[in-house]
Amino acid sequence: MKRRDFIYLTGMGTAATLIPGIPVVGRPIDPMQLLESIDLALKKRMADVALNAARSKGATYTDVRIGRYLNQFVITREDKVQNIVNTESYGMGIRVIANGSWGFAATDKLDNDNIAKTAELAVSIAKENSRLLTEPVQLAPQKGHGEVSWKAPIEKNAFEVPIKEKVDLLLSVNDAAMKAGADYVNSLLFMVNEQKYFASTDGSYIDQDIHRMWPVFFITTIDKATGKFETRNSLSAPVGMGYEYLNARPQDKIQGVTTLYRGRYDMLEDAKAGGAQTKEKLKAKSVEAGKYDLILDPSHLWLTIHESTGHPSELDRVLGYEANFAGTSFLTLDKWKSKNFNYGSKLVNIVADKTQVGSLGAVGYDDEGVKCGRWDIIKDGILVNYQAIRDQAHILGLNASQGCCYADNWSSVQFQRMPNISLQPGKEKKSVDDLIKGVEKGIYIVGDGSFSIDQQRYNFQFGGQLFYEIKNGKITGMLRDVAYQSNTQEFWNSCVGIADESDYRLGGSFFDGKGQPSQSSAVSHGSSTARFNGVNVINTSRKIG
């Protein structure tokens, strides 16, 4: 599913036509089929057909991905169920190296004859493209894992929860928001199960079961007299969890100027707060443009990390493979080689981690059979590493891939995608109140909003959901029309405080787009609340007509 398809489906964008249409990914199925899986022995037999066929046509390396991708959406607005959709996408993608070049072909007809033909097609594409190569593909060595499996450690499979329970939850969420003052509410539960099987000529046969979910709502409230409207989106995070995410316990809630959630989420409570907060936003003071010290909550900061650290440290961007679309990166290899490129202040430690429990990026093995791990990207403010896959590892002098390969479907070719990239908590004991206390003129920002960054990841602009003015160490009230602009290196060097581990939380994106044709991946970003000094804030209020 691409970001724009999701927008179409849910009416989140400007288009916001709220058409309860059929999703364009996968084929609709009976909800009971969401609980089925494909026989492991059958997957191994089909994979061997592809591996053997490609080898016999001259492939020097082959990997096969058999994927069953399951989605369930429950979509409502106000007191209506708009749509309930269950989809399945099932097929096989075959990637080969022949004549030193990559080739890829995919099919959803999984009889032996067609699998062999698809493998042959992948080999012939590789051979055709080899004349346009400048150097042959060089793969980092990878030992075969034999027959292994990995399952996401979820407590409750969301697909096992009856649809009625989900519908009742969303309608009660909408009702709570409306009673608190909202004029319109859209709410949605989005559940994903990726049943992925990987096999390669290295001797790996890897079966994985991955679960993700995202409960989300969008509230709009209108001032009838002026026609002015304000919105507030849910403060939930998309997560690599089961339905237990929606069962928030008292210890999962952080009380403050607004309630925040750690690891579990109370959708009903947040909707009630959201309804009231849209009314408060309508009456809030419009921000005065200028320099402010920003206190950024993890529900907001994840997106800044994603855009300004995650994307520029992708090695394929650094090398120029994304130049035509997503862009390149300012974190060039010479900066890494110098071992002294000052990306951020000494407090800034950023790690890549594909093993973090409950995160969107957690898997046992990536989509080229590499066991996943954790490594530093920024250490004490200095750039020390990137995100790489097997055909890039040699460029960094590594003798193994970092396991960052991913394809969003069996029909898409796998390529380098972002692992979870997270800011490490402060080492000294420090609370959010401690951070706010020291600020003379500042803004506390909660939730993610508008986001935009240039193609080399220097200049960015971010909005948010809730903005609170800080004066002389105290929160004095709500602001609106706030966005901040900065330069990545300048911003991370202005980081003067990070709350300790007790405040650490995950945010994330369900729809990180990259590549041509565009592919979506899901990725988490963790942090504790952090302070950034002297950031340029603009006022976004304009009038038309």
Partner 1 sequence: MTLLTKDEAFALLKKVLAYSKADECEVNLSGTNNSNIRYARNAVSTSGSVSQFQLVVQSAFGKKSGVATINEFDDASLEKVVRRSEELAQLAPENPEYVSILGPQKYAEAITFVPATAAITPKMRADAVAQSLQTAKESKAVAAGFLEDSNGFSALMNSKGLFAYNTSTNTNFSITVRTEDGKGSGYATRGYNDVTKLDTKLATKIAADKAVKSAAAKAIEPGKYTVILEPAAAAVLLERIFFGLDARQADEGRSFLSLPGGKTRLGEKLVDERVNIYSDPLNPELPTSTWNGDGRPQEKISWIEKGVVKNLSYSRYWAEKKGVKPVPGPDAAIMEGGTKSIEELIAGTKKGVLVTRLWYIRDVDPQSLLLTGLTRDGTFYIENGKIQYPIKNFRFNESPVIMLNNLEELGKPERTVSVESNANYLLPPMKIRDFTFSSLSDAV
# of chain residues touching partner 1 (CB under 8 A): 88
When asked if residue 327 is in the footprint of partner 1 (CB under 8 A), the reply is: yes
| Residue window 33-72: x/- pattern of binding to partner 1, with contact defined by CB under 8 A | ----------------------------------------
When asked if residue 120 is in the footprint of partner 1 (CB under 8 A), the reply is: no
Task: Identify which range of 295-303, 364-372, 408-416, 494-502 contacts partner 1 by CB under 8 A.
Answer: 408-416
Distance CA 128, CA 99 (A): 9
Task: Identify which range of 145-153, 254-262, 457-465, 466-474 contacts partner 1 by CB under 8 A.
Answer: 457-465
Measured in whole angstroms, how far is the alpha carbon of residue 234 from the centre of its chain? 16
Task: Identify which range of 62-70, 120-128, 240-248, 271-279 contacts partner 1 by CB under 8 A.
Answer: 120-128
- Specify whether the CB–CB gap between 274 and 177 falls below 8 A: yes
- Specify whether the CB–CB gap between 311 and 326 falls below 8 A: yes
Query: What residue ranges in 330-373 does DSSP mark as E strands?
Result: 350-353
Closest distance to partner 1 from the beta carbon of 425 (Å):
29
Total Cβ atoms within 10 A of residue 351: 19
> Prior bond to 517 cis, omega within 30?
yes
Given 35, 36, 45, 80, the residue binding partner 1 (CB under 8 A): 80
When asked if residue 144 is in the footprint of partner 1 (CB under 8 A), the reply is: no
Task: Identify which range of 49-57, 224-232, 294-302, 497-505 contacts partner 1 by CB under 8 A.
Answer: 224-232
When asked if residue 334 is in the footprint of partner 1 (CB under 8 A), the reply is: no
Given 39, 134, 255, 334, the residue binding partner 1 (CB under 8 A): 134
**CB environment 315-337: b (16+ within 10 A), e (fewer):** bbbbbebbeeebbbbbbeeebbe
SS3 for 470?
Answer: strand
Task: Identify which range of 20-28, 359-367, 392-400, 436-444 contacts partner 1 by CB under 8 A.
Answer: 20-28
Considering beta carbons, is residue 497 or 515 the nearer one to partner 1?
A: 515
When asked if residue 484 is in the footprint of partner 1 (CB under 8 A), the reply is: no
Q: Binders of partner 1 among 499-528, rule CB under 8 A? A: 516-517
**How would you classify the pairing of strands 80-98 and 101-107?**
antiparallel
Distance CA 482, CA 491 (A): 17
Closest distance to partner 1 from the beta carbon of 527 (Å):
22
- Specify whether the CB–CB gap between 129 and 96 falls below 8 A: no
Distance CA 70, CA 52 (A): 29
| DSSP notation for 291-321 | EEEEEE-HHHHHHHHIIIIITTTBHHHHHTT
When asked if residue 114 is in the footprint of partner 1 (CB under 8 A), the reply is: no
Task: Identify which range of 129-137, 144-152, 254-262, 426-434 contacts partner 1 by CB under 8 A.
Answer: 129-137
- Specify whether the CB–CB gap between 242 and 154 falls below 8 A: yes
When asked if residue 413 is in the footprint of partner 1 (CB under 8 A), the reply is: yes
H/E stretch holding 191: strand 184-200
Cβ neighbourhood burial of 359 (10 Å; 0-12, 13-18, 19+): buried
Given 246, 366, 450, 501, the residue binding partner 1 (CB under 8 A): 450
- Specify whether the CB–CB gap between 499 and 440 falls below 8 A: no
Considering beta carbons, is residue 250 or 517 the nearer one to partner 1?
A: 517
| Residue window 352-391: x/- pattern of binding to partner 1, with contact defined by CB under 8 A | ----------------------------------------
When asked if residue 4 is in the footprint of partner 1 (CB under 8 A), the reply is: yes
Q: Tell me the two tokens of residue 474.
A: 């105290």
Given 45, 151, 179, 228, the residue binding partner 1 (CB under 8 A): 228
Q: What is the SS3 string spanning 400-450?
A: CCCCCEECCCCCCCCEECCCEEEECCCCCCCCHHHHHHCCCEEEEEEEEEE
Given 161, 167, 254, 282, the residue binding partner 1 (CB under 8 A): 167
Distance CA 154, CA 359 (A): 11
When asked if residue 28 is in the footprint of partner 1 (CB under 8 A), the reply is: yes
| Residue window 171-210: x/- pattern of binding to partner 1, with contact defined by CB under 8 A | ------------xx--------------------------
Task: Identify which range of 270-278, 355-363, 411-419, 430-438 contacts partner 1 by CB under 8 A.
Answer: 411-419
Distance CA 413, CA 95 (A): 7
Distance CA 220, CA 76 (A): 14
Considering beta carbons, is residue 405 or 499 the nearer one to partner 1?
A: 405
Distance CA 18, CA 170 (A): 16
Distances in Å between the Cα of 508 and the Cα atoms of 212, 340, 358, 377, 463 are 11, 29, 11, 18, 16
Given 297, 322, 366, 512, the residue binding partner 1 (CB under 8 A): 322
Closest distance to partner 1 from the beta carbon of 135 (Å):
8
Task: Identify which range of 80-88, 335-343, 379-387, 465-473 contacts partner 1 by CB under 8 A.
Answer: 80-88
Q: Binders of partner 1 among 278-307, rule CB under 8 A? A: none
Given 38, 400, 458, 533, the residue binding partner 1 (CB under 8 A): 458
Q: Binders of partner 1 among 246-285, rule CB under 8 A? A: none
Closest distance to partner 1 from the beta carbon of 325 (Å):
7
